[in-house]
Structure 1
C-alpha cells in the first residue's frame, strides 16, 4: 500500500496498478514467480477479490446499506457485483452493449437501472434482465426521482418542436410520460425530430436535490442550467452564461447551493438565491469535469470533490482552497465516494479498478476496518528526528548551522523538550549555506556505506565451529571460489551434518594412516599437527619470514630429529648376497650368464616386483664405520698375481 502526501493530507493507494495496460498472461506469471521473495509484494493488500475488468471499467456505485458494490466495464460488456462482508465477487453478468451509466434503485443491488450505448434502458434484478426499453434518441445521463418513481434520461438532439428533451419513464406505470423540454439552441442543416448531426445540441447532465426540495437541474451543451419543479412539471429558473458545455452538476445536501462543472475545467458554486457564483475554481487540467460530489469530513468540514480524466481534487467548499488531490496514472471515468468514510473508488482505464483511502476524510468502511490500523502503523513509521516535514535540532546543532539567533524571535523554530522543530526545507537550505560541499560529503558517505554493506555480505572464512575447524575453513574457501554468499550453505548449514562440527567423536585425525592414504597430497607435521601442503608450506614460510627467528636450541633439536628421520629406499626382490648390488640401478644391473635380457629383446611379459624397505641413517653410519678400509687383505710386500693395477683401487 503506497502513500502520497498532498500537503498535510496523506492519501493511501489501496488497490490499483501503476500501468494503464495489464501485462500478458505469460509475462505476468513469470513476474509473479520472480516476486515470491519480494517482501513488499508478499505483504500487499488485496482489498476485494476480482475487483477488475478485462479491459476497462465504466462506472462504479455503492449501495445505501454499504454492503454491495456494482460496477460495469468492458470488454466484453459486463456487470460485476461484489458482496462487501465477504470481500469477494458475488456474480458477473454480461450484456449485449456497452454501459453508459447506471443507478441503484433499492438500498441493495436487487434493483438497478442501466443506460446502454444502443439507446436502451435495461432494468436488472438478481435473476437477470427484467425489462428493456428503447429510447427515441441516445441518452447522455440517468437519474432517478424516488418520490415520483420516474427515471429521467437527458438526451441528444431536438424534438419536433425544436427543443432538447429529458425523457421520463414512470417505473410504476411502466410507460413513457411527456418529456421535459429544455432550450438547447438549434441544429443547423438537420430537420427537427431526427437524431441530429455530430455536434447536435444536447442535455448533457442532470441532478436532483434529494431529501430536500427535490428540484431538478439540467445542464446543456450551450452552457445553461435549467431548474424544474417535478410537482408542477414547469421550469422555474434558468442560469446561463457558463463557459463551455455543462458536464457535471451536484446539489449540496442542504439543497441551498449547487456545484457546476464545464467542459473547459471550470467549477463554480452557486447559491440558488443568487446568479453570482460564490466560488469559482479552475481545475487546472483543461479537461471536462466528470464528477462533482459534496462531502463532509470526520471533523464536520464541508468539502467538494471534483474529477476529470486525469486528477481527483478535494477542496474547501467555503473558499475553494485545495485540501488534497489524487492523480492516478490512468484515465478516470467515474469516481464514487463511500459515504461517511474516507474511501474513494474509481472506474478507469486499465484492468484493475482503483481504491484510495484518506484517513482525515473519514474512517475506513466497516468491511475493511483493518485499514485504520494499517495506516496508523504506516504513519508511525517515521524517524525519531523527522516528524511530518519537520527536523528536530538541539541548540548545539542550531549553533553549528548559525540559526541560534532565531530562538525566541520567530515561529520558524518550535521549542520542544531539549530542542526545536525546524521546517525540513529551511533545515536543508541552512545546511547547504553552512557547508556548500554537504552534497558531496553525503554522496561519499552513502558510497562508503554501500561498500561496507557489500563487504559484510562476502564470505570471510571466519565461521567458528567446535570441531574440525580446518575442514570448515577449506569448505568456506571452496564456497568463496564459487561466489556463494551464504556461509551456512552446503554441509556447513545442513542439520544432518551438525554433529560433525560439534561432537568431538567426529573429529578428523589427519595424522592417521587412513587419512594419509585418502589424502596423499596432504602432509601433516607429526609434532604440531599442522597441514604442510604446498599452500600451507608457502604460507608458513611467509609467516616465518615475517616473524622473528627462532632460538638456536629449537633449531638444533629440529636438525637432530632430521638425522633420525626414516628414509624410504628401493630394493629388488631378486638381489644377491652382495650388499653392493642393492644400490645399483635396476637398468644397469649385470645379467647373469645364460640369462636373456627380456627388456632389451622386447619380450617382457610381466612386471618386476619392487618393495620398499625403511632404513635408518644411524644404522647405515654404524655399518660404514664397522667395515674395513679395504676388502683385500693383502700386505704391501706381497706381489699381486693380477696384471690389472686398478683392481686394487
Structure 2
C-alpha cells in the first residue's frame, strides 16, 4: 500500500501492479527470507484473496448490498465472485467465450446477465448456467430497465430498414420484444454507415446506453455518428435527439463511447471516442462544460460520485469520474477543475466505484486487478474498514515522504477537537459555522482544529497563559530530551561485541547525565541555547564504530579479544572468567571403578594424599568418544559392567603426585615401584610412559590367580605359559 499521487488529494494503491513486483508464488516462497528486507514486498496488502486472473480482467461489478464483487476475465474465460465480508473468493466458473460485459439483476450475486462475444446472452445463477439465448447481431453494451423488466442490448449494424437496433428481451415474459430503431447512417455504401447491412470496417452501431433510473426513467442511446437519442419506455417512441459535438473537424468520425445520467435526471455526461467529455442540460442542446481527458483515447466510464444519503449530499461536493484505458480523472462538474487522478501502470477496461466510499475497483490488463483508496472521497467500505486505521498510521508518521504528499503529520485525520454548538458559542466561534472549512460538521457538533481551539480558548480565558507557558516549556524539554537521549539499538558488529556495547553504554550514561543537568536547570533557557540535533557532535562510541581506522577491530576476526587468555586476565583481574567445572560424585565413582587394581598397585607406596586423585575437568564429548569413557550413570544402572580399557599413566606428570626434587629421590621412587610390580612386568625409564592392560576376570571356583605369588598357580601350570596366548585359553573369552 503506497501513495501513487503526490497531490493535495492522495490516492492509495491497495492492490495491483504498483504495490509490489510481480513474483511467481514458488519464487516468493523460495526468497521469503530475503524479501523480508524489501519494503515494497513487506508493506503489501492483499485486499481480496485471488483478486486476479491468469491474463486480464474484462469487467467488474459490486452488488447493491455491498457484500459481493463479480468480475470476468480471461484466459481461459471465467467468472470470479468474491464475498467481501470474508475478503475471500467464493466461487469461480469457466465460460465458453470471452465476456463483453455483464450486469447484476438482483441485489446480490444470485442473478446475473452476461453478454458474450459470440452473440450469446447467458443467465448465470449460483448453480451454474441457467439459460442462454442468441441475438441477431453483435452487442456493444448491456442495460437493465427495472421498471419494465427488460434487458436492452445496443448492437452493431442495421436491420432491413437501414436502422440500427437496440434489442429488447423481456425477462418477465421470456421473449424478445420489438427493438428500438436508432439512426446510425443507413445501409448504402456512400453514407457514414455504409455497408452496415452486411457488415464492414466502418459499420454504424449503437455503442452505449443509459437509463435515468432514479428520476424520469428516460432512455439514452449513443451512436457511432456522435448523436444521442432519447426514448420514453412507456410510449416506446423517440422524444428527442442530441446532435454531435459542435466543434468536430470536417471528416472526423467521432462517436459516443460513454453515457451517464445524473441522479436528478437533468444533467447528462457523454464521452466521445476522441477523449472529450461534455456536460449537457436536457433543456438545452448547448453543452455546459467541455473536459479534455488528455490522451485522445475513447472514454470508457463516466460516474457521478454522489452519496446515496441526502445529509451526505449536502456536506460533500459533487464530483465526476471519467476514465479511459490510461488514466482516471476526478474533477469538479461546475468548472471542470481537476480534483485528483489515478494513472495505473497497465491499460484499464472498466472502473467500478463502491458507493458511499472512497474505494475504486478496476478491470485491467495484467494478472492482478487494481483497487485504489481515496480517503478524501469517502471512508473505507465496511468490509475493509481497517484501511482507515492504516491510512491514519501512515499520516501520523512525519518522516514518511508519502504521507499525504509530504504534508505535516495528522493534517487530515488527527489533531481535531470535537465541540458542540454550546461550546462554540462559549468560545465565540459560532459565526464560523458554514463559512470556513476549519469547522467540520459531525453528528451533533463540529470538529475544530486543535491549534484553533487552543488559541480561541486563550483569547476567551486570559488566565490560562501560565498553563500554556508551562506546557510550551515542557514541550521544549521533551524535544531536547528526544534529541539527546537515544534508545539502545542493536550493535551491528562481527567481533568484540562486548567492547562495542560497553562503549555505547558509557556514551548513553553521559547523555543521560547531560539531560538530567538540563532538567535541573529548568530546561527553558538551556533548551533554547542548546545546539540543534544536526549541529550536535556525534557520540564517541558511534565515532569509533564508524571510524575506518578502527573498523577492523570490530570486523576482522584476527583482532578478536580472547577473554579467557592469560594476558587478558592479567590486565583485567576483575573479569569473571567461567572456569571449567569438575566431575560430579557419580562420575568420580564410575571413574574409580574403571581404573581397577592397576592404579591401586601403582599408588600403594605413595602417601594418602598421593593416592587420592585430584579433581579433573569434565571431559568433552570428543574426549569421551576417543577414550571410551562413560560419563553418565544410566549405563551402570542398566546392569552393564564397564569394559576394559587402555589406561595411560605417566610417572612424572600424574595429577596429585608430588614432583621429585632430586635424582636420588627419583631413583628411590623407581626402586619402590619395581618391588611393587609383579614379575614379568616391563620396566619403564625415567620420563617415559608406560602402557598397562588390566582385564577383569570372572571369579570361578578352583581357578584363582594370586597376584605377586610364585612361578606356578594352584593347577600347577607354569607362569610363563600363562603369558602366552592360545586359542583354548584366550583371556578375552574368559571375561
With normalisation by structure 2, the TM-score equals 0.55
What SS class does the counterpart of residue 9 from structure 1 fall into?
A: coil
What SS class does the counterpart of residue 41 from structure 2 fall into?
A: helix
Q: Alpha-carbon deviations, 1:41-78, whole Å to 9, x = none? A: 34432111111111111000000000111110011101
Q: Is the 8 A contact 1:162 1:192 kept in 2?
A: no
Q: Alpha-carbon deviations, 1:383-430, whole Å to 9, x = none? A: 4999965689xxxxxxxxxxxxxxxxxxxxxxx89xxxxxxxxxxxxx
In structure 2, what is the Cα distance between the partners aligned to 1:337 and 1:286?
Answer: 23
Distance 1:44 1:25, change over 3 A: closer
What SS class does the counterpart of residue 377 from structure 1 fall into?
A: helix
Q: Is the 8 A contact 2:552 2:559 kept in 1?
A: no
Q: Is the 8 A contact 1:77 1:94 kept in 2?
A: yes
Q: CA deviation at 1:504?
A: 4.7
In structure 1, what is the Cα distance between the partners aligned to 2:379 and 2:19?
Answer: 28
Residue 241 of structure 2 is aligned with which of 224, 230, 238?
A: 238
In structure 2, what is the Cα distance between the partners aligned to 1:178 and 1:484?
Answer: 94
Q: Is the 8 A contact 1:20 1:330 kept in 2?
A: no
Q: Is the 8 A contact 2:491 2:500 kept in 1?
A: no
Residue 288 of structure 1 is aligned with which of 298, 312, 326?
A: 298
Q: Is the 8 A contact 2:6 2:405 kept in 1?
A: no
Q: CA RMSD in A?
A: 4.1
Q: Which residue of 2 aligns with 1:68?
A: 68
Residue 229 of structure 2 is aligned with which of 223, 226, 231?
A: 226
Q: Which residue of 2 aligns with 1:496?
A: none
Distance 1:127 1:60, change over 3 A: same
Q: Which residue of 2 aligns with 1:176?
A: 176
Distance 1:235 1:287, change over 3 A: same
Q: Is the 8 A contact 1:160 1:192 kept in 2?
A: no
Residue 251 of structure 1 is aligned with which of 261, 264, 267?
A: 261
Q: Please list, as runs of the form range in 1=range in 2, the aligned pairs for 1:103-252 lying within 5 A after superposition.
A: 103-189=103-189, 194-242=197-245, 243=248, 244-252=254-262
Q: CA deviation at 1:10?
A: 1.0
Q: Is 1:89 paired with 2:89?
A: yes
Q: Alpha-carbon deviations, 1:544-582, whole Å to 9, x = none? A: xxxxxxxxxxxxxxxxxxxxxxxx9x9xx99xxxxxxxx
Distance 1:192 1:241, change over 3 A: closer
Q: Which residue of 1 aligns with 2:424?
A: none
- More divergent stretch after superposition (379-388 vs 97-106): 379-388
Which structure 2 segments of 5+ residues have no match?
249-253, 410-450, 453-489, 502-550, 562-574, 583-613, 621-660, 668-683, 689-735
Q: Which residue of 1 aligns with 2:602?
A: none
Q: Is 1:4 paired with 2:25?
A: no
In structure 2, what is the Cα distance between the partners aligned to 1:484 and 1:312?
Answer: 61
Which structure 1 segments of 5+ residues have no match?
393-415, 418-454, 467-475, 488-500, 519-567, 575-607, 613-649
What SS class does the counterpart of residue 131 from structure 1 fall into?
A: strand
Q: Is 1:318 paired with 2:334?
A: yes
Q: CA deviation at 1:24?
A: 5.0
Distance 1:118 1:21, change over 3 A: farther
What SS class does the counterpart of residue 391 from structure 2 fall into?
A: helix
Q: Which residue of 2 aligns with 1:341?
A: 357
Q: Please list, as runs of the form range in 1=range in 2, the aligned pairs for 1:444-483 lying within 5 A after superposition.
A: 457-459=492-494, 461-464=496-499, 480-481=555-556
What SS class does the counterpart of residue 50 from structure 1 fall into?
A: coil
Q: Which residue of 2 aligns with 1:396?
A: none
What SS class does the counterpart of residue 463 from structure 1 fall into?
A: helix
Residue 376 of structure 1 is aligned with which of 392, 401, 404?
A: 392
Residue 358 of structure 1 is aligned with which of 374, 377, 382?
A: 374
Q: Please list, as runs of the form range in 1=range in 2, the aligned pairs for 1:186-585 lying within 5 A after superposition.
A: 186-189=186-189, 194-242=197-245, 243=248, 244-296=254-306, 299-383=315-399, 457-459=492-494, 461-464=496-499, 480-481=555-556, 504-506=578-580
Q: Is the 8 A contact 2:7 2:405 kept in 1?
A: no
With normalisation by structure 1, the TM-score equals 0.62
What SS class does the counterpart of residue 92 from structure 1 fall into?
A: strand
Q: CA deviation at 1:5?
A: 3.4
In structure 1, what is the Cα distance between the partners aligned to 2:687 and 2:70?
Answer: 96
Distance 1:457 1:230, change over 3 A: same
What SS class does the counterpart of residue 100 from structure 2 fall into?
A: strand
Q: Alpha-carbon deviations, 1:258-312, whole Å to 9, x = none? A: 1010110000100000111111010001111000000026642100001000111
In structure 2, what is the Cα distance between the partners aligned to 1:142 and 1:109?
Answer: 17
Q: CA deviation at 1:214?
A: 0.4
Q: Is the 8 A contact 2:261 2:267 kept in 1?
A: yes
